[in-house]
Amino acid sequence: MLSIASVAGLYGFKAHLLHYVLFWMPTRDLLAQAQLEVKLNGIQEGKVLVVKWRKKPIFIYHRSQSIIDEERRSVNLSELRDPETDDRVKRPEWLVVIGTSTPNTTTYIAAVVEYSPKYSINSNETLKINSDEYVGFIEIANLYAVDIIVFPEAGLTTMNFPEREKLEDWTTIVPNASFNYIPCCQDIFKVSDVSQALRKISCAARSNKIYVVINIAEKELCSDEPCPRDKMFYYNTNVVFDRTGKIIARYRKTNLSKEYQFNVTTTPEVVSFDTDFGVKFGTFTCFDIYFRKPALQLTRDHQVTDFVYPTAWFSEVPFLTAVQLQAGWSFAENVNLLASGYNRPSFGNAGSGIYLGRRGIGKAIMPTITRKEILIFKVPKINIETQYTEDPYDPLKDQSQKVLLSHHQKEHDESRKKWENNIMIVNDKIRLLHDDTDIFETFPLEENITKNICQNNFCCDFRIEIAKIDPSIKYRLMVFNGHRSIPNNLVNDNVAVSSCSIIQCLNNSVSSCGSVQKSETVFNTIYITAKFDNPKTNLIMPSTLNPNLLPLNNEDWKFSVVDFFTENDRLHVTIYLNNPIDNLVTFGIYSRLFNTNSANRTSFDTINYFVMLLVALLLSRN
C-alpha cells in the first residue's frame, strides 16, 4: 500500500511541478524577441553561413563590393512582389535572410531562369562560362530565400552539339540517385568522367542550401548488346541537387526532337523527388510536355502536383508558343509548373514562367530579344485532397462571378494591371514556326454568328458577338481533328490532335492564319464548346494568345468541364469570355489524343528505342 501511495504522490508532485514550469516559461511575445548571436569573423567574403533560429534557417551572407554591385545591376526591383533595397541593412556587406519554407508552410519560394548560354568551340570553356553564370544566379536566388531554382535545357552546353564522335567531351557521368553521390566533395568516379560543371553546381547548391535543377548531356558506357559502335549511350538528362549538393534525381529525356546525337531509354523513365519543404516534384524535359509519357503519368498515375521543367522550346503559332503551352498544360492538369527556357529568339527559343494551375500565372516572360532573367515567385502549395474536388470553374460559380465582375469594373481593371505587371512584355522580333492551317476546316468570321463546324466526326459549336471590327485584320473559326506531322522527328512523326478555335489571319486566305498582329476587333462574347472522348487519357487545354505571345488574362475567360463520364465517357468542354477583349490572336480548346493500349504502347516504346539506337549506330560509323 505504501509503495502505491508513494507512486501516486510522485505523479502528483510531477504534475504540480510541470504546472509551475509552464507558468514561468517565457510567453510567445518574449520568444519572438529571443536573440541569436553569431560570430561574423569566421564567415569568409563571398560565403554564406546557415544557422537555425526557432527551427527556421537563417542565411548570413558576407558580400564583397563586386557582389553587391552585380546584384544591384541584375535584379529589377520593380518586378519583385515586395521590393526592398540594400538601404535596409546597416552594413551592406552583411545580408541576413530568414528562410520560411517548411512542410507546414502553405507556400515555397521558386526561381526559374530564362538564359541565353554562351558558346565556344571548346567544350571545357563553354561548360565553364555557363556554369559560372549558373552559380551567380544561385547566389542571387539565395538572397531571396529561394527553395528551388530551375535552369533551362542545354543551358550549360548550348544546342550547338558536335558530331557524335566528338560528343564525349561535352558530356558527364551522372550516377543514379541511389548512389547518394555529392559531386562537390566525393571522388568515387574518375575526375575525367565527371564534368567540372557538375561539381561546381553541386558545390553551389551545397553552399547556398538550395535545390538546383539543371539539364546536361550525360554519357553512360554500354555494357549489354546491342550497343552503338562507340560503346557509349548519350542522354539528354535533368539532374536535381538537394541542399547538400547531393544528386537526388536523374531523368533522361524520352521524347527527342531533332536530337540525333542522343539515345532514349528502353522504357520511358518516370522520375519524381521529395523536398524538405514538403513538396514532391516531377520532372521532364521540353518536348515531353506534348506526350503522355512521362508527363501525364506523373500527374494522373502518381498524383504529383509540382513540376520542374527545363526546356528549349521552338514556338509555333497559333497553338504552341512556349508560354501559351506551358500555361495551358499547367491549367489543364491543375499543377504548379516551374518552366525554365533556353533563350535564343532568332531561332524561336524563348519563354519561361512559374504557373499555378487553375490559379493562373504567377510570373512569366516571353522575350523576343536575347536576354537572361531570373523570375522569383512565392508558390502556393496544392492540396492533393482538394485538387479536383474544389473546382473553381464550376459553370454556376462562373455565372455569379461574371455578374460580380460586370458590376465591379474597377476591381477588374486593378486585377488586370496586377497580372500585366507579372507578365513581362517585349515587343520585337522572334522566329515562329507555323502550323499547317490549310488542312483545318474553317469558316470566315465577318459578323455575329452561331455555327457548328465539324471535321472527321469531331464537332465544335461557336457563338460569337463582335462589338467592333478592325478591317485590317481577319479572323476564322477553325476546327481540326486528325494527325499532324512533327518535322524532323524520327519516331513521333504523327500525333493526334483535336482543336476548336478562333484564329487571327493576315488576310482572307486560310494559309495566312496564325498571324500575330495587334487588332482593334473587339469581341463581346465568345462561346466555344466541344465533346471529347476518352477524357481520362487525353490532354485537354485552354489555348489563348495575344500579340505579345502571352496568354490572355485569366480574369477575361473561363474554362468549364461538365457532364463528366456521361454519354459513354464523353466530356463536354467550354471556353468562353468573361469580359470584352481585343488584340486576340488565338482563343480556343486544344487537345492531345493518346492511344493508351498497353500492348501498342510497349511496342511503340521498343520501336522508339531501337530506331534511336540505329540512328546512333549509323552516326557513330560515319
pLDDT in tens, 244-253: 999 999 999 9
> What percentage of the chain carries pLDDT values higher than 90?
63
What order of strands is seen across the sheet that includes strand 352-356? 272-274, 280-283, 306-311, 336-341, 352-356, 361-365, 423-424
Where residue 49 falls among pLDDT bands split at 50, 70, 90? confident
Please report the sign of the dihedral spanned by the C-alpha atoms of residue 178, residue 158, residue 366, residue 469. negative
Residue 140: is its pLDDT beyond 80? yes
Specify the pLDDT at position 535.
Answer: 79
Rounded to the nearest 5 percent, the helix, strand and coil shares of the chain are 30, 30, 40
Q: Which is more confident, 481 or 91? A: 481
Where residue 586 falls among pLDDT bands split at 50, 70, 90? very high
- Contact indicator for 215, 237 with CB cutoff of 8 Å: yes
Query: What is the per-residue pLDDT across 177-191, written as a single tens digit (0 to 9) for each?
Result: 999 999 999 888 876
How far is it, in rounded angstroms, from Cα 155 to Cα 51? 32
Query: What's the rounded mean pLDDT across residues 229-257?
Result: 96
**Domain ranges (residues) in the chain:** 47-98, 107-386, 436-592
| 184, 286, 500, 513: the active-site residue | 286
Residue 128: is its pLDDT beyond 70? yes
Query: What's the rounded mean pLDDT across residues 117-129?
Result: 96
- Contact indicator for 285, 310 with CB cutoff of 8 Å: yes
Residue 278: is its pLDDT beyond 60? yes
Residue 320: is its pLDDT beyond 70? yes
CB atoms under 10 Å from CB of 94, counted, come to 13
Helix (H, G, I), strand (E, B) or coil at 564: strand
Query: What is the per-residue pLDDT across 466-476, written as a single tens digit (0 to 9) for each?
Result: 999 999 999 99
* In this structure, CATH architecture of domain 47-98: 3-layer Sandwich (2.102)
Where residue 298 falls among pLDDT bands split at 50, 70, 90? very high
Residue tagged 461557336 (cell numbers) = 462
What mean pLDDT, rounded, does the chain reach? 84
Query: What is the per-residue pLDDT across 422-448, written as a single tens digit (0 to 9) for each?
Result: 544 344 589 999 999 999 999 999 999
- Contact indicator for 465, 480 with CB cutoff of 8 Å: no
- Contact indicator for 320, 291 with CB cutoff of 8 Å: no
Where residue 70 falls among pLDDT bands split at 50, 70, 90? confident
Specify the pLDDT at position 413.
Answer: 46
| 114, 133, 153, 259: the active-site residue | 153
How far is it, in rounded angstroms, from Cα 351 to Cα 341? 5
Q: With CA atoms as reference, report the closest residue to 569 among 537, 529, 521.
A: 537
Specify the pLDDT at position 201.
Answer: 98
Q: Which is more confident, 622 or 194? A: 194
Q: How far is CA 117 from CA 234, 309, 549, in A?
A: 21, 17, 22
Is 253 an annotated catalytic residue? yes
Where residue 78 falls among pLDDT bands split at 50, 70, 90? low
Helix (H, G, I), strand (E, B) or coil at 18: helix
Output the pTM of the full model: 0.79
**DSSP state letters, 260-283:** TT----SS----EEE-TTS-EEEE
- Contact indicator for 454, 441 with CB cutoff of 8 Å: yes
How far is it, in rounded angstroms, from Cα 311 to Cα 215? 9
Where residue 76 falls among pLDDT bands split at 50, 70, 90? low
391's enclosing H/E stretch is none
Where residue 18 falls among pLDDT bands split at 50, 70, 90? low
Hey, what's the cell of 538?
A: 487525353
Residue tagged 538546383 (cell numbers) = 212
Residues 6+ apart with CB under 8 A from 486: 257, 492, 493, 494, 495
| Phi/psi-derived region of residue 618, left when phi > 0, alpha when psi is between -120 and 50, beta in every other case | alpha
Specify the pLDDT at position 223.
Answer: 86
Alpha carbon 241 to chain centroid distance? Answer: 17
Specify the pLDDT at position 440.
Answer: 98
Q: How far is CA 170 from CA 160, 285, 558, in A?
A: 11, 19, 46
Where residue 603 falls among pLDDT bands split at 50, 70, 90? very low
DSSP letter (8 states) at residue 454: E
Superfamily of domain 107-386: Carbon-nitrogen hydrolase (3.60.110.10)
Helix (H, G, I), strand (E, B) or coil at 155: coil
Q: With CA atoms as reference, report the closest residue to 189 among 207, 166, 173.
A: 173
Lowest mean pLDDT among 118-122, 269-273, 593-597: 593-597
Residue 348: is its pLDDT beyond 80? yes
Specify the pLDDT at position 96.
Answer: 79
> What percentage of the chain carries pLDDT values higher than 70?
77
Treating both helix axes as pointing N-terminal to C-terminal, what angle do 196-208 and 123-143 enclose, rounded to 10 degrees?
10
Query: What's the rounded mean pLDDT across residues 376-384?
Result: 94
- Contact indicator for 322, 311 with CB cutoff of 8 Å: yes
**Alpha helix positions (H), 295-384:** 322-333
| 128, 200, 219, 253: the active-site residue | 253
On the CB side of 336, CA atoms within 13 Å amount to 24
**DSSP state letters, 598-614:** HHHHHHHHHHHHHHHHH
Residue 462: is its pLDDT beyond 70? yes
Residue 553: is its pLDDT beyond 60? yes
Where residue 145 falls among pLDDT bands split at 50, 70, 90? very high
